[in-house]
Amino acid sequence: MFFVLKSDITVLEALGYSILGLAIVFAALILLMVIIKIQSALMNKGRKSEAPTSVSAAPAPVAAPAPAKAVAPGSAGEVKLFDVPDKTAAMIMAIVADSLKKPLNELRFKSIKEVK
Amino acid sequence: MTSVVDILNSLWIDSGFSALLTDWRSLVMIVVACVLLYLGIVKKFEPLLLVGIAFGTLLTNLPGAGLYHPELWDGIIDGTKDYGDVLRDGGLLDILYIGVKAGVYPSLIFLGVGAMTDFGPLLSNPKSLLLGSAAQLGVYCAFILAVVLGFTGPEAASIGIIGGADGPTAIFLTTRLAPHLLGAIAIAAYSYMALIPLIQPPIMRALTTKKERETKMEQLRPVSKTEKIVFPIVVSIFCILLLPDTAPLIGCLMLGNLFRECGVVDRLSDTAQNALMNIVTIFLSTSVGATTVASRFLTLDTLKIVALGLLAFCFSTVGGVLLGKIMYKFTGGKINPLIGSAGVSAVPMAARVSQVEGQKANPSNFLLMHAMGPNVAGVIGSAVAAGFLLALFS
């Protein structure tokens, strides 16, 4: 065939294999993308359908919440921690407050997540 | 008196120094090993692997040491010998090399990589998978060029996989398709991975406009724990059913990730990330270095592999960035094309390069988490590419 060198396959065959190989990589990862989207859609749906239930069931437990049970004076609520130990989170919040020259109780931290 | 001279003469003949004088190639390889040690220790080029590889190169090229016997492995390939012969007649590095040959070490490294990888950025932006696919372009470009240069199909496939920028995958495929090229391919793969901060930026800047590089991307959505736990299970089932040859790599990668995410086996996750990973790295690097025996390494083919490896990395970067540009256009400027280059695996170095280049264009730009998506997608993409090449040529 065209352009046969020392190799046991021709350049044309190599080109064909390459196009097929790249197409398979794309196809596999596109299918994976679709699966991930379906998975996250299903989970979000599950979470949304759980939410109204918890709201409707909420009055009883929420009716008697322990107001400011463990909340420090001036606290803006609880910060969500993702893979961050409490001690590290406390240090991060203190450093941010110090850098901004603001008292900690005037700042609101929503979440702290470790970037890996 | 004569007997003393005879003894000294015999000692000289038996010593490695005498053998060094008869075969200059071993001396050259000792110099090569020292250069690699310099690059690993002083220049910090992938030191965790390069130091071991370089020392393996040094040990295997010290005449008379008998730590590695390439002829034993030739016997395994042509079926005249088996692993029993290696255990009986082999040296220390021969015995360690069994783990490479059997595909155990690359898979265990993938177990550790899985335990260290957060697939959250990929799950929150699944389009990253497209960039991870496009960045496999270099694998196939290098494959075609290798065929043009006269390598056989299996050899060309092993050379092409350097473009996946994934050391364990390159070693895994090469030990199955072209074990005689393992040393050169492993050294090229790890050296270029260390050079990613030098190789990628000029290509990234040449292919993108300043406006594109300045693009700030929206914050990623939070990913639930359940999604992260389900992901490795789904990927294992899907990828292994699609390409069964990827089972050792994808299976171990996803098992490691499940250890990390399920939250009930923290001890195993910790072992996979640290102790096991470190032990396997020592075995893998020294035994791969041992394959660089002078008589087989100092050939024109090695130079070709080094050149093709560089081209593979360049083409992979081009593929990722070009698809990034297409996605930039299609999304109305919501995706920064610089994250495309991170699709070449090399976790997390390639993602860091995207971050650095993004910040150079716009100091308030934070692309690291966005680039981690294509980066981990590249690991899956290169495993799929390797699975395809293995299915084709094995």
- Give the model confidence (pLDDT) of B213-231 as tens digits: 999 998 888 888 999 999 9
> Coil, strand, or helix at residue A44?
helix
B3 vs B153, more confident: B153
Residue B337 contacts residue B365 (beta carbons within 8 Å): no
Averaged pLDDT for residues A76-80: 67
Q: Do B156 and A37 touch (CB under 8 A)?
A: no
Percent residues over pLDDT 70 in chain A: 65
- CA torsion B260-B264-B266-B268 (nearest 10°) is -80
Cβ neighbours for A76, distance < 8 A, ≥ 6 positions apart: A105, A107, A108, A109
d(CA A18, CA A9): 12
| Chain segment B119-156, per-residue pLDDT in tens | 999 999 999 999 999 999 999 999 999 999 999 999 99
d(CA A91, CA B75): 61
Which run of H or of E encompasses A113?
strand A111-113
Chain B partners of A37 at a C-beta cutoff of 8 Å?
Answer: 126
Q: Do residues A42 and A85 both lie within one domain?
A: no
Interface-testing mutation among A24, A36, A111, with chain B (most B C-beta atoms within 10 A): A36
- ipTM associated with this complex: 0.86
A100 is a domain residue: yes
d(CA A93, CA A87): 10
Q: Do A25 and B381 touch (CB under 8 A)?
A: yes
A2 is a domain residue: no
Token pair of A105, please?
Answer: 């109780």
Question: Residue B263 — φ and ψ, nearest 5°?
Answer: 80, 5
User: HSE-up of B302 (CA within 13 Å, CB side)?
Assistant: 17
pLDDT in the model for residue B373: 93
Cβ neighbours for B197, distance < 8 A, ≥ 6 positions apart: B349, B352, B353, B356
A30 is a domain residue: yes
Secondary structure letter of residue B127 according to DSSP: T
Q: Do residues A15 and A59 both lie within one domain?
A: yes
A19 is a domain residue: yes
Question: Residue B208 — φ and ψ, nearest 5°?
Answer: -125, 155
How many domains, chain A? 2
Secondary structure letter of residue B265 according to DSSP: -
Q: Residue A51 belongs to what domain range?
A: 11-63
A87 is a domain residue: yes
Number of Cβ atoms within 10 Å of the Cβ of B262? 16
Interface-testing mutation among B119, B141, B147, B249, with chain A (most A C-beta atoms within 10 A): B147
Write the CA distances from B233 to B70, B230, B278, B375, integer angstroms.
40, 5, 26, 20
B253 vs A105, more confident: B253
Question: What residues are paired with A80 via a beta bridge?
Answer: A111
Does the pLDDT value for residue B208 go beyond 90?
Answer: yes
A52 is a domain residue: yes
Residue of B nearest to A44 (CA): B224
For chain A, the residue count is 116
Q: Do residues A16 and A57 both lie within one domain?
A: yes
Secondary structure letter of residue B125 according to DSSP: -
Q: Which of B356, B118, B378 is nearest to B222 (CA)?
A: B118
Q: Do residues A51 and A25 both lie within one domain?
A: yes
How far separated are the first and last CA of chain B, in Å rounded? 62
pLDDT in the model for residue B219: 82
Q: Do residues A50 and A88 both lie within one domain?
A: no
Mean pLDDT taken over chain B: 92
Token pair of B317, please?
Answer: 């970067």
A46 is a domain residue: yes
d(CA B259, CA B268): 7
Q: Do residues A28 and A56 both lie within one domain?
A: yes
Q: Do residues A55 and A87 both lie within one domain?
A: no
Chain A partners of B388 at a C-beta cutoff of 8 Å?
Answer: 20-21, 24-25
Cβ neighbours for B149, distance < 8 A, ≥ 6 positions apart: A5, B304, B308
Residue B46 contacts residue B190 (beta carbons within 8 Å): yes
Does the pLDDT value for residue A4 go beyond 60?
Answer: no
A50 is a domain residue: yes
Number of Cβ atoms within 10 Å of the Cβ of B190? 25
pLDDT in the model for residue A44: 78
Q: Do residues A48 and A23 both lie within one domain?
A: yes
Of A14, A25, A36, nearest to B144 by CB-CB distance is A14
Q: Do residues A58 and A92 both lie within one domain?
A: no
Q: Do residues A21 and A57 both lie within one domain?
A: yes
Residue of A nearest to B392 (CA): A17
